[in-house]
Amino acid sequence: MGLQRIVQPKTQRGKRALEHKEPKIHENIKTSLLLKGGNTSLLVTQVLKELFRNSVFIVIHESFFVFSRKNITRPFEDQNSLEFFSTKADASLFAFGCHSKKRPNNLIIGRMFDGHVLDMVEFGIEKFVSMLEFKGEKCVFGVKPCLVFSGQAFEQDSEYQRIRNLFTDFFKGPVVDNVRLAGLEHVISVTASGRKFYIRNYRILLKKSGSRTPRVELEDMGPSLDLVMRRTKLASDDLFRRALKQPKTAKPRKIKNISHDAFGSKLGRIHMTKQDLSKLQTRKMKGLKKRPFESSGEAAETSGTETTSPVAKKAKQTAT
């Protein structure tokens, strides 16, 4: 086993590039790598162009790396070229398109972990409708998409659950802390029926309803894809759990004695010793101040001796 070569940067630009690729507590936004195989059909090329040029999908990642040359590689037989391109471009997601007599209109979607292929699913493109064929407005650049997964297989089958996780990783875009509800304009719907997946893109329309709550409608804006699953190569459970592992510093710290009610109000619990309310200092007011005979009477009651106030003595003398 040979020693690993340590790359030393020669320029400040190279140093920044190496620092960008280093492991971080909060990783960079995931980028996608689009590749064309040795032979590609017009349909596969059009799908890859939509993934790259279409604003609906460009918004998903900040930058795309596209290799215009044909790459004669078979990802399910040899992943070395994919891992090399992924490491060079620092891309953790990839889409590979090819065409052959045995597997026509082939599209492979996968992701990387630690420089190696983690999950990879091969689809056959049965039908594709470009977004240029749909009339109407399209979503603006920078809109966070809403993902909707339909089908019992996504809930019951472990393989389909992993595919749903792959689609979520590929379409979710950058992680944000807050989302403006009025800015939710894009919906990506993925429906599973048997071995087929139907991907649709809709634009959310908020129309008047006669009340404060608007009426929500969905308008098909494309592109739409009908995919059939052919082959899968999924990571083992141990490797998948290792890929999901997060450092302790990245996890949010739990704040004790803090809770929130149903309305979102922040509630706190304070622990204090038992208080003696008789010694509680209240506001000093002249009306609440005790008179001398009241204080002397209370003192007599506590001591067990009977005392008579000056007013009571005078009243007694007058009566006699």
What is the C-alpha to C-alpha distance for residues 184 and 177, in angstroms, rounded to an integer? 14
pLDDT exceeds cutoff 90 at 126: yes
Asked if residue 122 has pLDDT above 90, the reply is yes
Report pLDDT for 36. Answer: 82
Bond preceding residue 223 cis, omega within 30 of 0: yes
CA distance 199 to 135: 18
Closest CA to 141 of 53, 58, 48, 32: 58
Identity at 204, one-letter amino acid code: I
Spatial CA neighbour of 230 closest among 49, 109, 113, 72: 109
Tell me the average pLDDT across 107-125.
91
Q: Is the pLDDT of residue 231 over 60?
A: yes
Question: Measured in whole angstroms, how far is the alpha carbon of residue 25 from the centre of its chain?
Answer: 16
Domains and CATH numbers, the chain: 29-175+183-243 (3.40.50.10480)
For the segment 305-318, what is each residue's pLDDT rounded down to a tens digit?
Answer: 455 555 556 555 66
Question: What pLDDT does residue 79 have?
Answer: 86
Confidence of residue 320 (pLDDT cuts 50, 70, 90): low
Residue with more model confidence, 149 or 142: 149
More confident residue, 306 or 72: 72
pLDDT digits (tens, 9 = 90+) for 14-31: 888 777 777 777 777 788
Cα angle 247, 250, 256 (rounded to 5 degrees) comes to 110
d(CA 164, CA 172): 11
